[in-house]
Amino acid sequence: MSRRDARAAKVPFGFVVVALGFAVGVAAFAATRGDPDPEGPSVTVDPVAGRSPSVAPPSSSSTPTAVVTPPEPKGSLVIHGTGDVSLDPSYIAAFGSKGYGWAWTGLDGLFRKDDLTVINLECPATDIVAPVPKQFNFRCDPAALGVARRYGVDVANQSNNHAYDQGPDGLVDSLRQIRKAGLAPVGAGVDQRAALRAALFDVKGWTIAVVGIDEVLAPLNEVAGLHTPGTAAGHDFSLALQAVRQAEDQADLVVVMIHWGVELDTQPREYQIQEAHRLIGEGADIIFGGHSHRLQPMETYHGRPIFYSLGNFVWPHLSAEGSATAVAEVVVHPDGSMKSRLLPATIVSDGHPVLR
């Protein structure tokens, strides 16, 4: 039985509520047997998940009471994903004259209207200048991140072959700058554990986990180690599966953004298809792929969408093929069913995608 099949076999919710209420009541009773707490018993609430029960202060009765807050009913969600985003003003000179809003003004406010937007940030956002030796070396402007946030971007994936372009210090600083701007970085970290960790969001009764995986490595040791910074997983696919399992244990929905495949391919390779199916078997619900710089088809597998490559997005207009792109859109219904599609877009000029 796969983890996805096992998810449906979990203990019924009613039983969990009764058991949880009993456990909380026992804990509250135990708390009253020591020195009284003037503010009553407390329950630690995860500031991200926010799913812990609330507990009423003890009454004057000798019988403790507990109040379990029912979970918020699940609503419909709209989730978007994009391909490669460059916010490097030396690569897209138009930002110098038009500002960083130029990257987002062709989208009719699409990302402001949804519930979650995930982009592949194809460069470290840092003021640290320490280029590593490679043919193409990028550095995004941290000032562009706040603009992206105002236009509705929520998650910046750093699991790609350019996040390490300014070395380990540049990568770590990029993660800090992304958080400072109010975005969540995924797919990289100060060590392996941090790189594999999901970003968690509570939206409309759902807990959503976003994971980044990097299978495309520059000619450097850019993968996070046990004690060294870098990107997530690399060629060790078991680590990718581990990251998805850990995310699935924490969330109702797992979104994976993965950098894989071969540049200029217009179709996924067979190994990508096999890996995508395995990721879904381990608990992934939505897969956003990238790296080929070309838009590739999407597939639905066991009711879960796989966008094999979303191509370029905020990128120079280098060719007609490279400028044909799309936004991946997934609508999640309260019962967990999904409706997915590609919203066509074109990079009409450098750094300026426009919905068609």
In terms of domains, do 223 and 247 share one?
yes
- Residue 67: the pLDDT is 76
Nearest to 288 by CA among 176, 190, 182, 213: 213
Q: Are 220 and 191 in contact (CB under 8 A)?
A: no
Report the half-sphere exposure of 151 (CA within 13 A, side-chain side).
19
Give dist(CA 239, CA 100) in Å, integer.
35
In terms of domains, do 45 and 141 share one?
no
- Residue 2: the pLDDT is 64
- Residue 33: the pLDDT is 32
- Residue 54: the pLDDT is 32
Low-confidence ranges of the chain (pLDDT < 70): 1-2, 4-65
In terms of domains, do 194 and 46 share one?
no
In terms of domains, do 121 and 198 share one?
yes
Report the 10 Å Cβ neighbour count for 342.
17
* 115-127 tens-digit pLDDT: 999 999 999 999 9
- Residue 309: the pLDDT is 98
What number of residues does the chain have? 356
What is the model's pTM?
Answer: 0.83
- Residue 5: the pLDDT is 62
Q: For residue 258, what is the domain's CATH number?
A: 3.60.21.10
Residue in this structure with the two tokens 């996924």, named with its chain if needed: 268
Which of the listed residues 71, 102, 133 is the one where a domain comes to its end? Answer: 71
- Residue 221: the pLDDT is 76
Domain interval for residue 67: 1-71
Report the 10 Å Cβ neighbour count for 282.
20
- Residue 4: the pLDDT is 63
- Residue 114: the pLDDT is 98
In terms of domains, do 98 and 41 share one?
no
- Residue 71: the pLDDT is 78
Instruction: Give the phi and the psi of residue 55 in degrees, each rounded to 5.
Output: -120, 130
